[in-house]
Structure formats: structure tokens, C-alpha cells
Structure 1
Amino acid sequence: MNQEKLAKLQAQVRIGGKGTARRKKKVVHKTATADDKKLQGSLKKLAVNNIAGIEEVNMIKDDGTVIHFNNPKVQASLSANTFAITGNVEIKQLTEMLPGILSQLGADSLSSLRKLAEHFPRQCERCCGES
């Protein structure tokens, strides 16, 4: 960039005359640890209790993806009807989780799995037929 364009841009952000600050306020971004502390404080107010012995948590979405927590920290407050699951998360396809997830699937998920199994051979025919 040439000096004229830079001077024009600098003049647009300057509030006062020469020697004054260019901006009114400094934007401070929150860190993730600050949010975690606020969340833990809110959970403490709800009197949540740790639930031990949970090895994994799987949340199955309508589009066939699974939100998978391995060794999560699970906290619950039955009086407040609140459950909190924290830990490392992985987003996987339902087909990647088979066959271990079959025992966790309900009736709705099994029907969607059947539909997925019906579409799978058709997709293979399209892929193999085109190449």
C-alpha cells in the first residue's frame, strides 16, 4: 500500500487531533477458562453432584451424526432437572460407531439405521457404476 492510502485509513480511526489515541476502547476477548469458571459457578449454585462410573456418552442427532464423549465428567441435579456433561468430544458418523452402539439405540434410532442401510447399497452402485 502506498503512504497516501495508509494516512487516509489512519485518519478515519483517529478520534481527536495529533497525539491522541486512535480508538475509544480496547476490546478484551474472554478466554475459555473464564467461561468454564462461570459455568462451574452456576452448576455449584444448582447443587449438582458428580456421577461416577460413566465410561462414555453418545448423543445421536437426527442427521445420523453422533456426539461422542469418552470418559466424561457427568454432573446432575435432579431437583433442578439439570445434567452437565464435560470432557473431550468427538463428532462421528453413526456407521463409525457400529456395532458397539447397537445396544444403546432406541426404536427411533434403529428405524433411521435401517433407512441408512437401505440407502447404502444404492450409493455404492452409483459410485461403482460411474467409475
Structure 2
Amino acid sequence: MNNDKLAKLQAQVRIGGKGTPRRKVKKATKSTGGDDRKLQGALQKLGVQPLGGIEEVNFFKDDGKVVHFANPRVQAAINSNTFAIHGRCVEKELTELVPGILSQLGPDSLASLRKLAEAYQSAQGGAAGGEDDDEIPDLVESFDKAEVEDKAEEKAEGEAKA
């Protein structure tokens, strides 16, 4: 390699003065602790108190999805009508949580659940209805009448063979 090219590369890489370590990229450290401290300070001004015994929190969206918090940390200031919920959340479909959340549903959520159920039934009915028509014919006559006719056909075939 050429010494001139090597000297140019070294001049580009050095960040500090002589004797400092050479790095190509200066990485900026991001601290998220400052935001959390600001949030906690604002909540303390409101006088929030921790609420215990809450195992899960669900937020119902208009599009039929649910924001689900399992084992959240909940703080509340009743006088200012402020609630803070901390923890990991997962966005799930309403159908995934239905058995466990029926007691939590309000009138709006029940209406959306009905719409979802109707859409599901129509989708299942349309797909299953087409398949069922191909495999199983509709019942036209009673079973008793068909059985009598089958026995008469078997008797006629037996006489024809003899």
C-alpha cells in the first residue's frame, strides 16, 4: 500500500488529538432514564398512588384489536382522574382474549364482538357451505321411503339372478 494513501486514511479516522484511540464512528450514548425521571416527577406532582392486585389491563381499540398488559404496574390519582400503566404490552386480536375478558366488555365492545362474530360466521358459512353442497346432496325424500325402495331393488336383482 502507498504511504501517502495510508497517511490520508489515518488523518480521516482520528477523532481526538495525538495519543487518542482511533475510531471510525463516534457513538452517542442514548439515555432513556431522563424521560422516565421526568415522567415520574410529573406523576408525583399529581399525587399518584400505586394500586396493587391488578393482574391485567386491556385497552379495546375501534378496529377490534386489544392492547393487553400482563402484570402491569398501575398508579392512580383519583382526584385528578389520572391513571398510569407501566409494563410490557402486546397487541392482540379480540378473538384471542374472548373467553377471559367477557366480564370486562362494555356495551361498545360487546357490539364490536357481535359484529366480529357475525363476520366470522358468514366467512365460515360461505366457505363451508360451498364444500358441503359438493359432498352431501340435499335430503329430498324421507329415509323410510328410500329404504323400502332399496329393499325392492335388491329383491328384483335377486330374482333376476335366479
Please confirm whether the aligned pair reaches a TM-score higher than 0.5, indicating the same fold: yes
**Cα drift, residue 47 of structure 1:** 1.2
* Aligned residue in 1 for 2:36: 36
SS at match of 1:91: strand
Could you say which structure has the higher helix fraction?
A: 2
**1:7-65 residue CA offsets vs partner (Å, 9 max, x unmatched):** xxxxxxxxxxxxxxxxxxx9x67533221111111111111100111111011011111
Alignment CA distance shift 1:127-1:34 (3 Å): farther
TM-score norm. by structure 2 comes to 0.57
- Between structure 1 and structure 2, the one with the greater Rg is 2
Structure 2 residues not aligned, in runs of 5+: 1-25, 131-162
Q: 1:124 to 1:29 in 2, by over 3 A?
A: farther
How many Å separate the matches in 2 of 1:128 and 1:59?
Answer: 33
**Over aligned residues, Cα RMSD in angstroms?**
2.5
Which residue number corresponds to residue 136 of structure 2?
Answer: none
One-letter amino acid of the counterpart of residue 105, structure 2: L
User: How high is the sequence identity, in percent, across the aligned residues?
Assistant: 57
Question: Which residue matches 1:79?
Answer: 79
TM-score computed with the length of structure 1 as normaliser: 0.70
- Whole-angstrom distance in 2 between the partners of 1:29 and 1:120: 49
The alignment partner of 1:98 has SS state of: helix
Aligned length, in residue pairs: 106
> Which secondary structure state, in structure 1, belongs to the residue aligned with residue 47 of structure 2?
coil
Give the corresponding residue for 1:58.
58
Q: Quick one: structure 1 residues 31 and 128, their matched pair in 2 at CA, closer, same or farther if it must change by over 3 Å?
A: farther
Structure number having the greater strand percentage:
1
Match of 2:98 in 1: 98
Q: Distance in 2 between matches of 1:117 and 1:44?
A: 43
| Aligned counterpart, 1:117 | 117
Cα distance in 2 for partners of 1:124, 1:76 equals 44
Per-residue deviation, 1:126: 6.0
Task: Give the AA of the match of 1:121.
Answer: Q
1:88: Cα distance to partner? 1.0
Which range moved further: 34-43 or 90-99? 34-43
Counterparts of 1:29 and 1:44, CA distance in 2: 28
